[in-house]
Amino acid sequence: MKAAVLRQVGQPLSLEEVAIGLPGPREVLIRTAATGVCHSDLHFIEGSYPHPLPAVLGHEAAGVVEKVGSEVRTVQPGDHVITCLSAFCGHCEYCLTGHMSLCPSPDTKRRDEEPPRLSQAEGTMNQYLNLSAFAEQMLIHEHACTPIRKDMPLDRAALIGCAVTTGIGAVIHTAKVRPGETVAVIGCGGIGLAAISGAVIAGAGRIIAIDRQPSKLALAKTFGATDVIDASEGDVAKRVRDLTNGGVHHAFEAIGLKATAEDAFKMLRRGGTATVIGMIAPGVKIELSGVDFLSEKKIQGSMMGSNRFPVDMPRYVDFYMQGRLKLDEMISARLPLERVNDAFDEMKRGEVARSVVVFDA
């Protein structure tokens, strides 16, 4: 099969032929239909986060099940599915206490003594985040995908695999935004737009979108933002506090930078909560004012929207089909796998909300 491979940090992905195995007892072979191009992939390309190389990247995907292993119970050939990087084992403490997104998932990977899921004649090929979705096929554990209704367009379904689940989940599951509360979202890419959608679904009273790109701020309004702030004009936290008479109940950081994480905390009202969704690079330290903790302000992280993806994703699909969740507007471009590096170049320029790699049916 064709796949986009990262061989060296800082270099473009190379289109290569990669061999894929047959499903083991709990595994599923999927024909990939579409894969979103996520900023998380860029972090690994640029080396902000380490990963064994070479590896087939990509993790935000949807497709059609081709084959299943002998013990698979959740899907069958012909099912349309969305994949999720937060594969879960189902029996560890995190899973059993309802925190599936935190499962370290050792049982969802092949053991060292087993043949790898991906390979090349000339050497090792590593699977990325349980998925490796920049490829014509995926071989994954059954607990890394969930079936969805077949009338859902798969290019839009792919976005639910990461951006939508991460952004909406951070609002609804991690932060538990309540009707009428005020929300600020820093960064209006795919995840930020999904967080805005989550705030709308949760019934937030005021939703403030913050970005440096006028086109993204305009898009944020179509997703439900009631106010927008151009971050290039400076002192974002003060402007949010002035706009809300003291600060917001919830601030969501969807970029992954020290400065924006600190701003999220600074723009809170008394008792407010800042939720960091973005991937802050390892080793980066956040500086906060200790006196703010006396007014019960809080800061927390969110891992893939604290999801229960087999339950959440079909519901998000229904929201889209009912017209309650915007996905069409989130897609800036559809590209073949051969142009995946163009998608990353556009991402680095801040020109797109989400590009989607689409595969032939």
Q: pTM score, two decimals?
A: 0.95
- Domain assignment of residue 221, yes or no: yes
The tokens for 315 are: 């519901």
* Residue 243 pLDDT exceeds 90: yes
The token pair at 322 is 């009912």
Contact between 302 and 171 under an 8 Å Cβ cutoff? The reply is no
Report yes or no on 94 lying in a domain: yes
| Residue 314 is assigned to a structural domain of this protein | no
| Whether residues 119 and 249 fall in one domain | no
Both 231 and 193 in one domain: the answer is: yes
List pLDDT tens digits, range 80-136: 999 999 999 999 999 999 999 999 878 999 998 999 999 998 888 999 999 999 999
In a domain, 153, yes or no: no
Domain count, the chain: 2
- Its domain, for residue 280, covers 168-303
Q: For residues 250 and 177, is the Cβ–Cβ distance under 8 A?
A: yes
Token code pair at residue 118: 């991906």
Contacts of 229 (CB under 8 A, 6+ apart): 208, 209, 210, 217, 236, 239, 240, 243
Within this chain, do residues 14 and 141 fall inside the same structural domain, yes or no?
yes
- pLDDT band per the 50, 70, 90 thresholds, residue 349: confident
In a shared domain, residues 185 and 138: no
Whether residue 139 is predicted with pLDDT greater than 50 in this model: the reply is yes
- CATH number of the domain residue 39 falls in: 3.90.180.10
Q: For residue range 254-280, what is the model confidence (pLDDT) as tens digits?
A: 999 999 999 999 999 999 999 999 999
User: Which of 303, 323, 350 is at the close of a domain?
Assistant: 303
CB of 225 closer than 8 Å to CB of 209: yes
In a domain, 324, yes or no: no
Q: Give the CATH number of the domain where residue 193 resides.
A: 3.40.50.720
State pLDDT tens for residues 6-61: 999 999 999 999 999 999 999 999 999 999 999 899 999 999 999 999 999 999 99
Q: Is the pLDDT score of 195 beyond 50?
A: yes
- Asked if 101 and 194 sit in the same domain, the reply is no
Nearest alpha carbon to residue 6 among 24, 18, 23: 18
Q: Residue 352 has what pLDDT? A: 77
Average pLDDT, the chain: 95
Which of 303, 322, 339 is a domain's end point? Answer: 303
